[in-house]
């Protein structure tokens, strides 16, 4: 997509107070019992005083601030944006006051709000903000939830002045260290036979081709497996969240949507899954993220409270409004779970908890919760993305899950139903089970999207 086709920027100025309030709201979301402590920039009577970074930056429209300064915090090297005094100690503790030398409020606002994507004109061929253009890629910190580290600095400061220990968020009645959100985008239910049939034709194995075609027309497809997917997830005490794609029409640019239709029989099966405790959300078709195509409203046979956009399509200047004003949900969607980089696992907004995106045209937070996507199956093995060996997948992801656990966040994993096909030995059922076993061993509390949304509030 060319920059000229992007919708115009319509930012209003964001005051220091607005940024501070937005960030502190998210701090309380990460540390629900935090006491009221006066945090701010140079003023009298503050208990936690933060060095002001760069006011000018937030009056402008540049996508990137100056390169971050790397500091060590609790044994971890962490990039600090808006850090004007790299030689000063990060924290100066006095009896009843703490100084923080880097502007962690501005840095947290920059990353959480989605500033870089909104102001950047970089988009890939699917209209997405590319990982390659992100500060996470440029400065190499996509697997670190940097905002959580900023909050940990603030936690230490607040604990000092309040003399109260702060606990990160805990999940469920068992007070689990972290939560996990297991979801499946249902793009295909009928196409498992296609790749082997094509290969057979190409190799002129006509006998094999006829056998595959016969099987296709007389037996269920290997990808027509929603019940098996739910059962695989249930082995770990988890409930699947399915994002159903109601559009089977190809997009104008040729990108496929669903290969299935919501037949009465499929509707019955979906209702049955819902009865078992699975959640049904909406997988928004190509074109909906930019408003070119309307979201399917009345046609969907269930009440979706959450959504994810097909191809992780997301136009930062438009899509949050589509989520907010969609007619598909009873009022509007309570949550979205699109925001992860297709090209890399990790933390697109450098935060491992659900959060609220910032609306730059109204200078306030959006009303829906974003449950960021950390790991997508296709990211791990795909010609356009990474090419991890099957044995590398869990070892590669373990440190990411460890970060989520450290800060009481949500580990969000997308595994398409087609990758439960035993024929997939790269990023297939075995790799899914390895991840689930690991999350279970680490003590994750498994929740559906709407369960996460209803347990988060600030
Ligand atoms: Zn999809």
Q: Are residues 152 and 285 in the same domain?
A: no
User: Do residues 306 and 396 share a domain?
Assistant: yes
- Residue 358 included in any domain: yes
The verdict on pTM exceeding 0.85 is yes
* pLDDT value at residue 292: 82
Instruction: Tell me the CA–centroid distance for residue 278 and ligand 1, in Å.
Output: 18
CA of 312 to the centre of ligand 1 (A): 7
Assess whether 74 and 185 both reside in one domain: no
Question: What confidence tens digit (pLDDT) does each residue in 248-258 have?
Answer: 888 877 888 99
Residue 133 has a pLDDT of: 97
Residue 415 CA to ligand 1 centre (angstroms): 11
Co-location of 404 and 258 in the same domain: yes
Check whether residue 92 and residue 230 sit in a common domain: no
User: Residue 339 C-alpha to ligand 1 middle, in angstroms?
Assistant: 13
Q: Is residue 323 part of a domain?
A: yes
Co-location of 127 and 185 in the same domain? no
- Asked if residue 266 belongs to a domain, the reply is yes
Q: What's the domain count of the chain?
A: 2
CATH code for position 306? 3.20.20.370
Cα-to-centroid distance, 401 and ligand 1 (Å): 24
- CB contact set of 137 (below 8 Å; sequence gap of 6+): 131, 344
Whether 172 is in a domain gets the answer: no
Give the model's pLDDT for residue 4: 46
Q: Which residues contact 116 (CB under 8 A, 6 or more apart)?
A: 63, 64, 110, 129, 133, 134, 135
pLDDT of residue 282: 93
Task: Based on the fold, state whether residues 118 and 258 are members of the same structural domain.
Answer: no
Q: Which residues sit opposite 416 in a β-bridge?
A: none
Q: Is residue 447 situated within a structural domain?
A: yes
- For residues 327 and 433, state if they share a domain: yes
| Cα 218 to ligand 1 centre (Å) | 26
Encode pLDDT of 87-97 as tens digits. 999 999 998 89
pLDDT given for residue 297 in this prediction: 58
| Contact criterion met (CB below 8 Å) for 131 and 344 | yes
B/e letters for 148-163, b = 16+ CB within 10 Å, e = fewer, are bbbbbbbbbbbbbbee
Residue 41 lies in a domain: yes
Q: Are residues 317 and 345 in the same domain?
A: yes
Does 52 share its domain with 115? yes
Residues 406 and 324 occupy one common structural domain: yes
* Ligand 1 geometric centre to CA of 212 (Å): 25
Å from CA of 285 to ligand 1 middle: 8
CA of 444 to the centre of ligand 1 (A): 26
Q: How far does the centroid of ligand 1 lie from the alpha carbon of residue 409, in Å?
A: 25
* Rounded-to-integer distance, Cα 69 and Cα 84, Å: 9
- Residue 384 has what pLDDT? 84
Q: Which domain holds residue 155?
A: 3-162
For residue 438, the CA-to-ligand 1 centroid distance in Å is 26
Residues 318 and 434 in one domain: yes
Tell me, yes or no, whether 211 lies in a domain. Answer: no
Task: Scan for tokens 């991840």, then name that residue.
Answer: 435
Residue 328 has a pLDDT of 55
- Ligand 1 center to 420 CA (angstroms): 15
- CA of 185 from ligand 1 middle (Å) equals 5
Which segments of the chain have a pLDDT < 50?
1-4, 458
199, part of any domain: no
């Amino acid at each position: 997509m060319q920059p000229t086709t992007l919708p115009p920027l319509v930012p209003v100025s964001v005051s220091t107070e607005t940024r501070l309030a937005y960030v502190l709201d998210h701090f309380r979301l990460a540390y629900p019992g935090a006491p009221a402590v006066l945090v701010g920039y140079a003023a009298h009577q503050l208990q936690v005083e933060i060095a002001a970074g760069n006011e000018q930056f937030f009056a402008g429209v540049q996508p990137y601030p100056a390169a971050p300064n790397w500091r060590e915090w609790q044994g971890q090297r962490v990039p600090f944006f808006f850090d004007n005094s790299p030689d000063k100690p990060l924290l100066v503790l006095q009896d009843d006051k703490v100084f923080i030398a880097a502007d962690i409020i501005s840095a947290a606002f920059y990353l959480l709000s989605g500033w870089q994507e909104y102001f950047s004109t970089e988009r890939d061929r699917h209209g997405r903000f590319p990982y390659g253009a992100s500060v996470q890629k440029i400065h190499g910190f996509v697997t670190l939830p940097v905002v959580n580290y900023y909050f940990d600095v603030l936690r230490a400061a607040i604990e000092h002045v309040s003399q109260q220990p702060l606990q990160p968020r805990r999940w469920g009645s068992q007070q689990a260290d972290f939560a996990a959100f297991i979801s499946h985008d249902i793009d295909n239910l009928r196409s498992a036979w296609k790749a082997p049939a094509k290969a057979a034709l190409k190799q002129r194995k006509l006998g094999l081709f006829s056998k595959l075609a016969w099987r296709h027309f007389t037996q269920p497809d290997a990808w027509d497996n929603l019940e098996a997917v739910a059962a695989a997830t249930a082995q770990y005490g988890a409930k699947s969240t399915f994002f159903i794609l109601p559009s089977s029409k190809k997009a104008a640019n040729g990108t496929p949507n669903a290969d299935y239709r919501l037949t009465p029989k499929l509707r019955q099966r979906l209702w049955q899954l819902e009865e078992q405790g699975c959640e049904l959300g909406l997988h928004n078709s190509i074109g909906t993220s930019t408003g070119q195509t309307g979201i399917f409203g009345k046609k969907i046979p269930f009440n979706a409270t959450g959504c994810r956009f097909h191809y992780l399509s997301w136009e930062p200047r438009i899509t949050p409004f589509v989520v907010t004003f969609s007619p598909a949900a009873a009022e509007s969607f309570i949550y979205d779970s699109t925001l992860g980089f297709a090209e890399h696992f990790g933390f697109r907004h450098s935060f491992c908890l659900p959060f609220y995106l910032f609306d730059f045209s109204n200078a306030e937070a959006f009303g829906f919760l974003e449950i960021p996507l950390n790991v997508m199956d296709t990211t791990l093995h795909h010609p356009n993305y990474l090419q991890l060996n099957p044995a590398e997948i869990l070892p590669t992801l373990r440190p990411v899950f460890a970060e989520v656990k450290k800060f009481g966040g949500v580990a969000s994993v997308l595994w398409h139903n087609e990758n439960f096909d035993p024929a997939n030995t790269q990023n297939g059922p075995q790799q899914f089970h390895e991840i689930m076993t690991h999350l279970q061993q680490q003590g994750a509390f498994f929740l559906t999207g709407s369960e996460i949304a209803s347990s988060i509030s600030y």
